[in-house]
A and B are shown apart, each in its own frame.
Chain A
């Protein structure tokens, strides 16, 4: 049994993701909106990629397609060469709102994802859940109710819940946008630490350029109407990165200018 847990915790699956000519339209009252227009992208195993762009640029739509919650109208999304057919345990999503279940306590929430995973006994699941609560520094709150936690603590639990089934890819949809600056800065450190420890492929959606530069090894800039990939930046800054670092600020400044440039060009 010990070996199962050992394997469960120490296995580091990561996946390669290919997006091939994906387009997606949405019908709205004012007509058809092209959320994604012929987007192609490759994300390597263990990469930390940030999608950045203004609202309506399709970054969340692409995330949902990768999660399997949405299907592309044209093109394909492949994970390790196989088309994505629906949601799966190999891809966990962390939402903007915490989406924790209020009828379960903290450990119950982390166990929920694990229970969907076969080949583990409940005792093993409990061990794994405790490990991930420890990893996100919430091990002292295992039996707290969700409403008793602060916003930051809730997102930590949500992170533990997403990590616990040991997915290959972690999809994060503006997970820190509702938190205060102090809490956010702490979580930037934690998520980098966890990424390095757990070696996952992480896709992080945000509208905050600086946040993207702080976290990502690659930043992908999207532009809206229709949603397209505009530019990509490899971020080589040393880790762990501090969001208040000068180099980081300079780099995000230049990316922000690029973003402003094409937003302005579009409105002309």
Chain B
């Protein structure tokens, strides 16, 4: 991660190194594709020059095609992720509480978490057809199990003294669960949410490349048609968009939440 305070000379040096590194990669790419004159090492069908990719991204952003499919993709992701969270956290809490659920649901979660959720795509297409529901299902399967397992794990790692203290302060069992045990397991739940997000994002991309859905043309489908039409500049451009969305989610949502937790719990200190 880049250092936070840009005035610190050491931090400036580190930022500079990062910039130089990526600049060097870009120059290498440009040189290899003949941007600075001379023969291109590969045909532009195999490796298009950065200028072509940039032009593709620029034009398709301006005419609204990329923003629209980003919206479609993010909508699928957010709805599926939200459903996965809303089911995963309570189910994880129940699995931590009742041994019966741990032995049944918990075991199933463990098994299904090991299954890359893109493996659900064939079944999802049979069950739901080429619809939004099929894609949502795949996203939910990516999110649900890791959130469930990490919530269960987190609840089991809460020191029992917190619940005892809450009970002596007059908390009912339900209040203790919601306002003590759940926040106490926040570091675990968050890491499960992060893993769930990563799984959901990857599986949605795979599903969109794999399945054409009439209800909307997502980012993954752009990549798929880039391949069909042999437009590698489109494929690479879309790859950049996918990377950008993944990074932004991390920087905007998960990193701040994690650093807040580390600061509050004191785990950021040596």
- Across the interface, A88 reaches (CB within 8 A) one of B165, B170, B263, namely B170
For residue B264, give the distance in angstroms from its CB to the closest CB of chain A.
6
Interface residues of B in 147-194 (CB under 8 A from A): 161-162, 164-171, 175, 179-180, 183-184, 186
B266 touches A102 (CB 8 A): yes
A87 touches B266 (CB 8 A): no
Given the known A-B contacts A101-B180, A102-B264, A103-B264, are A92 and B269 also in contact in the complex, defined by CB atoms under 8 Å?
Answer: no
Interface residues of A in 18-77 (CB under 8 A from B): 67-69
B266 touches A145 (CB 8 A): yes
Given the known A-B contacts A97-B161, A99-B165, A103-B186, are A87 and B265 also in contact in the complex, defined by CB atoms under 8 Å?
Answer: no
User: Complex: how many Å from CA A140 to CA B162?
Assistant: 25
How many residues belonging to A are interface residues under a CB distance threshold of 8 Å? 27
Chain B residues near A113 (CB, 8 Å)? 169-170
Residue of B nearest to A147 (CB): B266
User: Complex: how many Å from CA A113 to CA B184?
Assistant: 16
B266 touches A116 (CB 8 A): no
User: Complex: how many Å from CA A113 to CA B166?
Assistant: 8
User: Complex: how many Å from CA A112 to CA B252?
Assistant: 30
- Cβ-based interface call for A95 (8 A): yes
Residue of A nearest to B167 (CB): A87
B165 touches A95 (CB 8 A): yes
- Across the interface, A116 reaches (CB within 8 A) one of B169, B184, B186, B269, namely B169
The number of A-B residue pairs with CB atoms under 8 Å apart is 63
Chain A residues near B164 (CB, 8 Å)? 69, 93, 95, 99
Q: Binary interface profile of B, 246-270, with partner A (CB < 8 Å = 1, else 0)?
A: 0000000000000000011110010
Chain A residues near B269 (CB, 8 Å)? 147
User: Complex: how many Å from CA A268 to CA B167?
Assistant: 42
For residue A109, give the distance in angstroms from its CB to the closest CB of chain B.
10
Interface residues of A in 78-97 (CB under 8 A from B): 87-89, 91-93, 95, 97
Residue of B nearest to A109 (CB): B165
For residue A69, give the distance in angstroms from its CB to the closest CB of chain B.
6
- Cβ-based interface call for A129 (8 A): no
Chain B residues near A112 (CB, 8 Å)? 166, 169, 179
Interface residues of A in 168-227 (CB under 8 A from B): 171
Most chain-A CB neighbours within 10 Å: which of B167, B170, B171, B269? B170
- Cβ-based interface call for A152 (8 A): no
B184 touches A101 (CB 8 A): yes
B263 touches A145 (CB 8 A): yes
B186 touches A91 (CB 8 A): no
Chain A residues near B183 (CB, 8 Å)? 101, 103
For residue B143, give the distance in angstroms from its CB to the closest CB of chain A.
24
User: Complex: how many Å from CA A103 to CA B263?
Assistant: 10
For residue B38, give the distance in angstroms from its CB to the closest CB of chain A.
59
Chain A residues near B170 (CB, 8 Å)? 87-89, 113, 116-117, 165
B184 touches A146 (CB 8 A): no
User: Complex: how many Å from CA A67 to CA B87?
Assistant: 36
For residue A124, give the distance in angstroms from its CB to the closest CB of chain B.
17
Given the known A-B contacts A95-B161, A101-B184, are A67 and B168 also in contact in the complex, defined by CB atoms under 8 Å?
Answer: yes
B169 touches A101 (CB 8 A): no
Given the known A-B contacts A102-B265, A145-B264, A147-B266, are A116 and B162 also in contact in the complex, defined by CB atoms under 8 Å?
Answer: no
For residue B126, give the distance in angstroms from its CB to the closest CB of chain A.
45
B169 touches A89 (CB 8 A): yes
- Cβ-based interface call for A148 (8 A): yes
Given the known A-B contacts A145-B266, A147-B266, are A99 and B169 also in contact in the complex, defined by CB atoms under 8 Å?
Answer: no
- Across the interface, A103 reaches (CB within 8 A) one of B161, B167, B175, B265, namely B265
Residue of A nearest to B160 (CB): A99
A93 touches B165 (CB 8 A): yes
User: Complex: how many Å from CA A88 to CA B166?
Assistant: 10
Chain B residues near A91 (CB, 8 Å)? 168
Residue of B nearest to A171 (CB): B168
User: Complex: how many Å from CA A93 to CA B162?
Assistant: 12
A99 touches B266 (CB 8 A): no
Chain B residues near A117 (CB, 8 Å)? 170
Nearest 7 Cβ contacts at the A-B interface = A147-B266, A116-B170, A99-B165, A89-B170, A93-B168, A113-B169, A103-B183
Instruction: Give me the interface of B with A, judged by CB distance under 8 Å.
Output: 161-162, 164-171, 175, 179-180, 183-184, 186, 263-266, 269
Instruction: Give me the interface of A with B, judged by CB distance under 8 Å.
Output: 67-69, 87-89, 91-93, 95, 97, 99, 101-103, 105, 112-113, 116-117, 145-148, 161, 165, 171
27 contacting pairs across A/B (C-beta < 8 A): A69-B164, A69-B167, A87-B167, A87-B168, A88-B170, A89-B170, A91-B168, A93-B164, A95-B161, A95-B165, A99-B161, A99-B162, A99-B165, A101-B165, A101-B184, A102-B266, A103-B183, A103-B184, A103-B264, A103-B265, A105-B264, A112-B169, A113-B169, A116-B170, A147-B269, A148-B266, A165-B169
Given contacts A93-B165, A148-B266, 5 further A-B contacts (CB under 8 A): A112-B179, A113-B170, A116-B170, A116-B171, A171-B168
